[in-house]
Chain A
Amino acid sequence: MAGDRLPSRGRIDRSRPLRFRFDGRDYTGFHGDTLASALLANGVRITARSFKYHRARGIIGAGVEEPATLVELEGDAASGNRIATTVPLVEGLSARAVHAWPSARFDLGAVNQLIARLIPAGFYYKTFKWPDWHLFEPAIRRAAGLGAVPPAFDDSYETRHAHADLLIAGAGPAGLMAALVAGRAGARVLLMDEGIEAGGSLLAHKAAIGGRDALDWVAGAVAELAAMPNVTHLQDATAWAYREHNLLMVHERAPRADGLRGRGWRVRARQVLVATGAIERIIGFDGNDRPGVMLASAVQAHLNRWAVRPGRRAVVFTNNDSAYTVAADMAAAGIAVAAIVDSRASVPGTARAQVRGIEVLPGHLVTQTHGARGLRAVSVTAGGRSWRIPCDLLAVSGGWTPSVHLWSQSRSSLRWDDALSAFVPDRPAQAVTAAGAAAGATGLGQALRQGAEAACAALGLPAPEVPQAEDAPYAIEPLWTVPGAGAKAFVDIQNDVTVADLELALREGYGAIEHVKRYTTGGMAMDQGKTGNLTIVGAVAERLGLTPPEIGTTTYRPPYTPVDFGAVAGQQAGPVVLPYRHTPLTAWHKAQGAVMYEAGARWRRPGYYPREGESFQQTVDREARTVRQGVGVYDGAPLGKYLLRGADAGRFLDLVYTRPMSGLRPGQGRYALMLTEDGLIFDDGVCFRLDEGRFLVSTSTGNADAVGQALEKLLQVERLDWDVTITNITGQWGNATLCGPLARDVLRAAGTDIDLSGQAFPFMAIRDGSVAGLRARVARVSFTGELSFEINVRPRDLPALWQAVLEAGAAQGIAPIGSEANHVLRVEKGFLSLGHEVDGTADPYDLGMGWAMAKGPADFIGKRSVLLRRSSDRPRRELVGFRPVDPERQVPEGAPLTPQGRKEATEGFVTACVRSVVEDRWLGLALLMDGRARIGQTAHVRLPEGAVAVTLCEPVFHDPSGERLRS
């Protein structure tokens, strides 16, 4: 019934009909249509269901401001949350409404409307609080889903980096004029516009520039810009975020010529011009969301640009002059305009002159709309009298709001403009200017002049010629909400926020606009409140007896319009986001059937080497037993390694480690902790002195980069005058670490010129020499508690070394060892592991490592804070060992310990639990409140299936005296 296509005019190509599908029904439109204009032309009134109340909604806007009709595109072009008014119609397009299930016409969720009064503002905060959120979450997500997340990234997105002398956001009259001026001067210009076509507001209404049709001027400008090699002009591309130092994020949708779904631009611009236009506001009155209620500017755009009549009999409701042009256009297109309801007591003659023959009702208000499946009539009131006017279209204009989103994202300030009843750009915080309607211009001539001036100012050019255009008068008297507006008067149509919600927020004490926004969610939807934000500000101000500038605005946040995840990620998706690091032995490990894990810092490392018929546990047991009883070898290449050189390297290390290193003799090493300045364990490692001026430091695998960063910071910030050079040599060495009582025999059999006797080469010593004919550096450290030789060679020599030790150890039954067995071995020995016991909350005493704190007056990082903490006797979590009472009971790592295993505050947690090969049972380590004092007692691990009793013990299960690793 409502809506049809005009026989002529418009920017559609009637010779190119397009078939499309919406919510399962087939329709036809034309090339040049948007999905929204085609739906209107087909008389489809209900195109969406609202987010919270599932109210029927229709097309309200004509561009990115559209708050109601979000669609999901299906098929090849699948993408979620697209704004129907910005989706260009193509042959075979298939779309469905986002909020509606199974369709917008018939929506089961509409029963929510019946309980609408039960979902007031703040409902979510009040109702869905911990601990009960999990009860509601699934239902809420089903009912309120704003579209589906795309199933996966694909590779049809890319990122492009660009620089520009002048980035212009918006190709309306101001932006185009600026681009012409800057482009002609030879500047590197990047012009982008969110529309399918350039022209901005000129596409929607008739105007003249330089004495000819404004759209001819637009076409001329676009052609001239296209011929300039220094100008890049993008359409269907939105600058959606303005970041620090003039970095703009741009989402270019469907650059089809390049076979892409989207492209993300990161543009660093010398100067930015915000020429983003203005958006018409809604007015708050009951039923202002009923299908058939549209923004006046959207009615005009659909008439003139898409040749669509959105209704047959219309009422106009306005508080300003701009709607009079719309009424004139409607009448000219054959729409019966029943009345212009103007809230102002008197209407300027220039406005009246445009609508001769149409009844104007000054000082009147629209208070309600009526109609079950779309608009049938509106209630009009004045002087206490109220009556209905039948209509199927209501064109609303609450005035124009400059689109200052980008401007504000740049942190530039706004000021209130009384004449416009809107906030306009004020002082720039970056190299940015604004022009045209975004800057508060109301006339076309003014917009052109501002665009030209902005370009000249930005680039230091002389004033250019600007074509003539009319500056139509614009007057407004603010009207935010009509008296009596309540629970059906929407101020944020996308998020279903009403005037009643605002009033509830104010009653409950949320007077600051940022609080009102969060409490009601007004302005927080994907449309970022383009049509309603200022209405909210105005309504709140009115109710508090303040003015809008006293209330201020909420923060404008990116994205300005929805952005595909793919356009942000570009090609940085999947395995290339963070590439893995591999050791020179990766191929060998895989050939042996090793199960590879990430072992911290993106290193891939063998977890275990299963043999035919072995279970996981059997493999780990076998590997661990091999080390305890014979000899194993593991690939230790990922271990972090730093070389420190210089006259002050020794005292620098004294400062960063808990034990002094400057007294080490060449070839000697020492284990120590590295603390943060607040006295918590940051890392542990071994430091060797290679010669007088060189030290070799090892770090945890996962911590290597962080340690390097901390060392460099201390050196460069606090000790820049010290002679120390720090070099990360992790990748310069590969290593094979022999461990087990037979390690010495294997190393000897592999052939070495290093004296391996315990006397000549004691524990914690390092020697240079040759192993298996390869230049090597061998260190006697142990991460397993057994006799160990860490044989370091050049990475390229590692495969040869590996083969040599495997062959040399064949007689002793040598086997490669993965990180799982290493974990068992270190837990049995009570050695620390980063991320397990070292979790950023423990100090040395907590872990029973007070012995690693150097005594004496010397200072080191973290010492003061440890001592300060120790001067308080508050109980702390301390490292203990434990054995489950049932030796076959495993407890998961991370499980909490609570008093008697009851549902009480945790007193600690399990840091590790392994099946021990020396005790042939499960055992583990835990951090437990006051744990040292409780050794020998029983504690309880709390698990979903019940409490598990464990007996507490010293955190070492194997060779407490350390004879074996020193042997």
Chain B
Amino acid sequence: MLLIDCPFCGKRTESEFAYGGPALAPRPDPAALTDAEWVDWLTVPPNPLGWVEERWWHARGCGAWLTLRRHTVTHEIAEVRHGR
């Protein structure tokens, strides 16, 4: 169970949060992309053995959507920031 340092609430246990998936690149202008580029943005998030960026929602806290840098092996969290 992670301990997430919410920038607004301080260290809170994972059960206060909802996982919100991998951090995708900013939503592109769909009209400016080819079909392949669109599918790539939408469905191919990175899944490395190591550092990932992902979204967590402080659902049972302040309601902030956070972006975490988390290590998938050690679960170390290097950074927590609001928004993207």
Contacts and interface: CB of A to CB of B under 8 A. Distances in A.
Interface string B35-48: 10011001100000
Interface residues of B, number: 32
A268 B30 CA distance: 45
B50 interface: no
Given A429-B74, A709-B18, A247 B1 contact: yes
A429 B30 contact: no
B38 A718 contact: no
Nearest to B66: A716
Interface string B1-44: 11100000000011000101000001101110101001100110
B64 interface: yes
A543 to B, nearest CB: 30
A716 B1 contact: no
Contacts of A720: 82-84
A675 B31 CA distance: 18
Contacts of B35: 868, 871
Given A243-B1, A678-B42, A718-B84, 4 more contacts: A244-B2, A716-B64, A868-B38, A868-B39
A245 B65 contact: no
B73 to A, nearest CB: 6
Nearest 9 pairs between A and B by C-beta?
A864-B30, A716-B65, A244-B75, A245-B3, A429-B74, A720-B83, A247-B1, A244-B2, A717-B84
A107 interface: no
Nearest to A718: B27
A712 B14 CA distance: 19
A408 to B, nearest CB: 13
Given A244-B1, A245-B2, A717 B30 contact: no
Contacts of B30: 859, 863-864
Contacts of B82: 716, 720
Interface in A861-895: 863-865, 868, 871
A914 B53 CA distance: 48
B81 to A, nearest CB: 11
B42 A429 contact: no
Contacts of B61: none
Given A709-B57, A717-B65, A717-B83, A430 B74 contact: yes
Most chain A beta-carbon contacts within 10 A, residue among B27, B29, B67 = B27
B42 A865 contact: yes
Interface string A848-861: 00000000010100
A411 B74 contact: yes
Contact of B59 (A411, A709, A717): A709
A145 to B, nearest CB: 32
Interface string B47-80: 0000000010101000111010000011101000
A675 to B, nearest CB: 12
Contacts of B84: 717-718, 720
A612 B50 CA distance: 66
Contacts of A868: 35, 38-39
A462 B75 CA distance: 31
A429 B2 contact: no
A712 B57 contact: yes
Contacts of A871: 35
Contacts of B73: 411, 429
Interface in A271-308: none
B3 A712 contact: no
A349 to B, nearest CB: 46
Contacts of A709: 18, 20, 57, 59
B55 A717 contact: yes
A713 interface: yes
A73 B42 CA distance: 54
A426 interface: no
B65 to A, nearest CB: 4
A868 B30 CA distance: 11
Contacts of B31: 857, 859
B42 A713 contact: no
Contacts of A677: 27, 42
A556 to B, nearest CB: 15
B41 to A, nearest CB: 9
B63 to A, nearest CB: 7
B3 A859 contact: no
Nearest to A244: B75
Most chain B beta-carbon contacts within 10 A, residue among A720, A857, A864 = A864
Contact of A712 (B26, B27, B29, B65): B65
B26 A718 contact: yes
A245 B26 CA distance: 30
A73 B32 CA distance: 69
A863 B38 CA distance: 12
Nearest to A714: B27
